[in-house]
Amino acid sequence: GTFSLEVPDIPGFAEPNLAQFGWAIVIGLIASVLGSGVRWLALRVRPFVEPRPLVAVPLAGLVVAALAIGFAAATGHAASEVLFSGQDALGGLLTDSARYSVGTLLLLIGAKGLAYAVSLAAFRGGPIFPAMFLGAALGMVLSHLPGLPLVAGAAMGIGAMSVVMLRLPLTSVLLASLLLASDEVALMPLVIVAVVVAHVVTARLTPARPATTSAPAAAEHPPGDAGP
């Protein structure tokens, strides 16, 4: 079959203004802290999982299930919004935004972020859609404040969270643009600013890797190479 990233039936967006560029900086800063926190927690949990996978992986699954059930019980929304990657739920999150209060969105970000970190530490799977989902929810929360339309906030949040988790700025801009294709030209300047801010701040928050002492290894992975 086929799958399209584009979310239909979203509100239109005309053109960015100065206030929205200010929000792009704010969203980039918040996303860098949120995404770095998810990564930090995953890296702290992983050493406890790897030596004992037969015990730790089922426990991690129970933690994710508990977070999903707790979110559903507290908000009345579906547990699947926390339980799964967010690929299928992202469209509904944006098109049915009126169903999500600020409190619900904050609970969703907290539960989804914790479940995301545990899953990164214990399970196989991609980081892309959970990052996009968290970014959209972050943008929706901030859109309740003056000067930030929902579509612009969601687009900047998606791009910023994607670059924090993927470290791929161009890909992160394209992901947000593909998702909101109907407004991609007008939104792209805002997304670029949010992505650049998030990428730079994340690089400052992330400890540098130790220098390689082996000459062959250093030659094999020169500076800027994507190798481990």
The per-residue DSSP string of the chain comes to -----PPPSPPP-----HHHHHHHHHHHHHHHHHHHHHHHHHHHHHHHHTT-HHHHHHHHHHHHHHHHHHHHHHHSS-THHHHS-STTHHHHHHHTGGG--HHHHHHHHHHHHHHHHHHHHHS---SHHHHHHHHHHHHHHHTTSTT--HHHHHHHHHHHHHHHHH--HHHHHHHHHHHTGGGHHHHHHHHHHHHHHHHHHHHHHSPPPPPP--HHHHHHS-TT----
Tell me the pLDDT band of 86, cut-offs 50, 70 and 90: confident
pLDDT band at 177 (very low <50, low <70, confident <90, very high): confident
Query: pLDDT tens across 92-150, in order?
Result: 888 888 899 999 999 999 999 999 999 999 987 778 899 999 999 999 999 999 999 99
Structure confidence at residue 209 (pLDDT): 64
Which of 104, 172, 161, 106 minimizes the C-alpha distance to 133?
161
**pLDDT at 165 exceeding the cut of 80:** yes
Between the two ends of the chain, the Cα-to-Cα distance in Å is: 34
Q: Is the pLDDT of residue 74 over 80?
A: yes
Q: Residue 49 CB: number of other CB atoms within 10 A?
A: 18
What percentage of the chain has pLDDT greater than the value 90? 64
Q: Using the predicted structure, report yes or no on whether residue 26 has a pLDDT greater than 70.
A: yes
- What confidence tier does 226 reach under pLDDT thresholds 50, 70, 90? very low
- Looking at residue 216, its pLDDT comes to 45
The string of pLDDT tens digits covering residues 43-72 is: 999 999 999 999 999 999 999 999 999 999
Of residues 30 and 205, the one with the higher pLDDT is 30
Task: Write down the pLDDT at residue 212.
Answer: 55
Residue 2's pLDDT is 61
Residues in the chain, total: 228
217: confidence class by pLDDT, cuts 50, 70, 90: very low
**Selected residue with higher pLDDT from 205 and 29:** 29
